[in-house]
Amino acid sequence: MAGSVIRTTCPYCGVGCGLRVAADGTVSGDQDHPANAGRLCSKGAALGETLATDGRLLYPLIGGRSASWDDALDRIAAQFSQTIRQHGPDAVALYVSGQFLTEDYYVANKLMKGFIGSANIDTNSRLCMASSVAGHVRAFGEDIVPGCYADIEAADLVVLVGSNTAWCHPVFYQRLAAARQARNTKVVVVDPRRTPTCEVADIHLAIRPGTDVAVFTGLLVHLAENGVCDEAWTRYFASDFAAAAEAARLSTPSLGDAAAICGVAAADLARFYALFAATVHTVTVYSQGVNQSSAGTDKVNAIINCHLATGRLGKPGTGPFSLTGQPNAMGGREVGGLANQLAAHMSFTPADIARVRRFWRAPRVAAKGGLKAVDLFEAALGGKVKALWILNTNPAASMPRAGRVRAALGACPFVAVSDCWATDTTRFADVVLPAAAWGEKDGTVTNSERCISRQRAFRAAPGAARPDWWALSEVARRMGFAAAFSYQSPAQIFREHAALSAFENEGHGRRIFDIGALAALSDEEYDALAPVHWPLPRGTAAVWSNAKRLFAEGRGFATADGRAHFVPTPYRPPAAATDARRPFLLNTGRVRDQWHTMTCTGRVLRLMAHQREPALDIHPADAVRNGLDDGDLAWIESEHGATVLPVRLSGDVREGELFAAMHWTDQFTSAGPIDALVGAAADPVSGQPELKATPVRVAALAARWNGVLLRGSDQVLHGPYYWGRVPLERGHAFTLTGWEPLPRDRGSELWIAALLDAPAAAELVIYADPARGTFRYASLVGRRLDACLFIAATKAALPSRDALAALLGKRIEPQARTLVLAGAAGAAAPQADGQTICACFGVGLKALHRAIADRRLTSVAEIGAQLRAGTNCGSCIPELRAILSRAQSESAATA
């Protein structure tokens, strides 16, 4: 295969871009893939840099010690079997992931719901997509995204709700930006924050968090009162319009009411309503801002209601469009990987249960829905779930009330974890299984537009790592289900999955999810499978003439009456409200170059350079009121937890609101996962927890000292100080800020020794000026700089981390040993370039400022021509544009 190119699919967001991986590991966009047509974002472009296998889990671990696969699998099977014998099938559970391939998902779901006989399998998609799934089922009778990506290119208005696509779905955003350039598409962004996506917005509605429903009930009222509704359509093809319209009128009788609830100017809202009303070709895209809410399902339906009312779906350039967060959230839903689904878009009705039993020849199909994520971990904490297997996800960091989840993992008598790397969650595992990673395993994923793509292996898994479907099948076999889990390949699993989708799927009430045409693929055909949209039933394409868009004729809804359903969505505020004690509302979200809990992207230097450390965004006026300045430490406390984060002053958040990215974990910062503070109030329909509206209080913590530490190992002890870690080419850099005085005397020595993590053979060079609070340490091992620590009263008195990084691991000549501590040895190192904006070409903020000023650059194109920034993946273009416009307004101000 040398020299050949492997086509595969990106493992990050739900856009699901096609990739070409060259023999040398170089990753480029696949021109032929319908999702991206060759484009890539910064994360995808850096995939080649995640392939390093250092730090990978290579062998199974039992009780922290290396073990054979046989022993580890026997152990899991025995624990599960014994627990089921003693406490019944509902005492065991699987918690899986949207990072799973469809084949992994299928086997996990079949084992749990078909053979163990419990529906206690849930997935991190619960945190991501559950509200969209529930909203789709309520409106369409089945979890269906009616449109496709091409619709945003055919639309005249694109409404983005709770969706920072510029950073979270960059290729989708680039398609939108290109369409806007080409045809002047209007863009409306509904988001409490002024995100980078707002670069292309004609209107930005910075609504109060959690008030999205009121935006769309207000819109429905506006559409109804202004005769914009397609009455014929709603009459023939939909039910319950009157009830939905009435509920909307009760919530938001007037524009003014809606504006008051949402906290936006009525005029802005009116402009949006008028634009929506006037634009037939409208697509409404929504993501986590909609889903991660205690009213998430109502938000979805409030949006869908407006599209149903105007008949705007299924036709080019129209429709509600749920943009998924994970690469295979859709695939997981196809197999039924959520606790409230059965399998293949079937639910827990007697007919479906019987059908699945027939297909699987399963002894005891689960008869009812299982525990959803939040409840699942509560059950573990409460002792109801006694054996838990977590695969490919990091709930100890990503779940709301993460501290409580950790307590649950600690309390659960048996925990197995499958992952590629040690995570916050593997720490709690009795058995750890090494999972094959992206590039090492074969299977399929389905993206946000129902397009099934192959993920293909292009290299061997390191050590003893194996794919998850194999581990699941092996445990099933050991539990006595060998006949039903004798899988030899992902192709075999996929064919069974496709066959189940088509099984007894005809006539009235047929399931739209039908990929029967793929049930007879040969191994070779499966290997060669090109991206394909479902539905794809066996035989002709008669039923679905155009799989890319559904419901175009107003028909085909999977509801009992065959009609689309309006759903009344009375506005409800978020579950928890701010008060005098907790006056701020904490929002969480993502940054451009990180993915989930950073287990992959946190290893890539250039991706870490965009934002090196976590930050708590706070409005400058709030900062002043609370005695905070940029970079200061803030104590932030909710009902569920507390942490300390450096603040970043930002006019992009509303007053009274805070924002923190959800990526950083204990592996990267003392602050730990922000989700430890977030409440778990769940949507009553979808069970999806509210992650973006937690009341908190904030207090300034005066910094007593600042430090920068560079060393080989990656973990630092906790203490009364904040730390953040950035990986270096060799080793790691930490920044430290303490809010209590430094320890003294012997305590200081022990603390310093622990920080430096110096081996016994290390030679220490120490500088101390205690009166100024300045301390510097270099630890040399074999004449090489093994670690160094600089402590000073102010950040300004610290040397540049980049200059020090150039010295770490390098040989230090005897006469230069003390000069390392002078902070001058790095004077020859390249000048630090500030925050990296263009991750592809490593172009920093300072370089951009210099070039814009010196060369009088006025456009993104000119920047690209001069510095190459923005010319590869384009993910940084919104930031480039913002930097340009700031520079231009500053130079105008000084002119």
List residues near other proteins by CB under 8 A. Answer: 763-772, 774, 780, 797, 814, 817-819, 821-824
Decide if 425 contacts 394 (C-beta within 8 A): yes
The nearest distance, CB 814 to other proteins, in angstroms, is 6
Instruction: Give residues with Cβ within 8 angstroms of 698, minimum separation 6.
Output: 584, 616, 618, 622, 626, 628, 634, 635, 636, 637, 658
- For residues 785 and 867, which CB has a smaller minimum distance to other proteins in the complex? 785
**Sheet with 431-434, edge to edge strand ranges:** 65-66, 61-62, 431-434, 414-419, 387-391, 92-96, 121-123
Looking at the DSSP bridge assignments, the partners of residue 443 are: 455
The nearest distance, CB 815 to other proteins, in angstroms, is 9
The nearest distance, CB 477 to other proteins, in angstroms, is 59
3-state SS record for 746-805: HHHHHHHHHHHCCCCCCEEEEEEEHHHCEEEEEEEECCEEEEEEEEECCHHHCCCHHHHH
The nearest distance, CB 790 to other proteins, in angstroms, is 11
CA atoms within 13 A on the CB side of 709: 25
- Give how far Cα 602 sits from Cα of 26, 53, 587, 630, 659, Å: 19, 14, 22, 24, 20
Decide if 857 contacts 884 (C-beta within 8 A): yes
3-state SS record for 108-171: HHHHHHHHHCCCCEEEHHHHCCHHHHHHHHHHHCCCCCCCCCHHHHHCCEEEEECCCHHHHCHH
- For residues 220 and 778, which CB has a smaller minimum distance to other proteins in the complex? 778
- For residues 250 and 827, which CB has a smaller minimum distance to other proteins in the complex? 827
Decide if 638 contacts 695 (C-beta within 8 A): yes
Looking at the DSSP bridge assignments, the partners of residue 781 are: 784
- For residues 572 and 817, which CB has a smaller minimum distance to other proteins in the complex? 817
The nearest distance, CB 761 to other proteins, in angstroms, is 10
The nearest distance, CB 739 to other proteins, in angstroms, is 23
The nearest distance, CB 294 to other proteins, in angstroms, is 53
Give the pairing of strands 642-649 and 633-637.
antiparallel
The nearest distance, CB 747 to other proteins, in angstroms, is 18
- For residues 32 and 763, which CB has a smaller minimum distance to other proteins in the complex? 763
The nearest distance, CB 749 to other proteins, in angstroms, is 12
- For residues 761 and 893, which CB has a smaller minimum distance to other proteins in the complex? 761
Q: How many CB atoms lie within 10 A of CB 509?
A: 12
Decide if 323 contacts 448 (C-beta within 8 A): yes
d(CA 282, CA 853): 40
- For residues 717 and 764, which CB has a smaller minimum distance to other proteins in the complex? 764
The nearest distance, CB 743 to other proteins, in angstroms, is 18
Q: How many CB atoms lie within 10 A of CB 652?
A: 17
The nearest distance, CB 378 to other proteins, in angstroms, is 54
- For residues 598 and 778, which CB has a smaller minimum distance to other proteins in the complex? 778
CA atoms within 13 A on the CB side of 49: 18
- For residues 817 and 868, which CB has a smaller minimum distance to other proteins in the complex? 817
Q: In sequence order, what DSSP letters do the residues of 200-240 get, joined into one string? A: G-SEEE-PPTT-HHHHHHHHHHHHHHTT-S-HHHHHHHEE-
- For residues 368 and 783, which CB has a smaller minimum distance to other proteins in the complex? 783
The nearest distance, CB 818 to other proteins, in angstroms, is 6
- For residues 756 and 843, which CB has a smaller minimum distance to other proteins in the complex? 756
In degrees and rounded to multiples of 5, residue 352 shows phi and psi of -65, -40
- Give how far Cα 388 sits from Cα of 61, 110, 416, 419, 522, Å: 16, 16, 6, 14, 35
Helix (H, G, I), strand (E, B) or coil at 259: helix
The nearest distance, CB 795 to other proteins, in angstroms, is 14
Which among 45, 885, 267, 135 has a CA at the least distance from the CA of 569?
135
The nearest distance, CB 819 to other proteins, in angstroms, is 7
The nearest distance, CB 796 to other proteins, in angstroms, is 11
d(CA 245, CA 239): 12
- For residues 624 and 766, which CB has a smaller minimum distance to other proteins in the complex? 766
* CA angle, residues 297, 300, 303, in degrees to nearest 5: 150
- For residues 80 and 777, which CB has a smaller minimum distance to other proteins in the complex? 777
Decide if 372 contacts 682 (C-beta within 8 A): yes
Hey, what are 636's tokens? Answer: 């932030």
- For residues 182 and 771, which CB has a smaller minimum distance to other proteins in the complex? 771
d(CA 805, CA 440): 32
Looking at the DSSP bridge assignments, the partners of residue 785 are: 780
- For residues 232 and 816, which CB has a smaller minimum distance to other proteins in the complex? 816
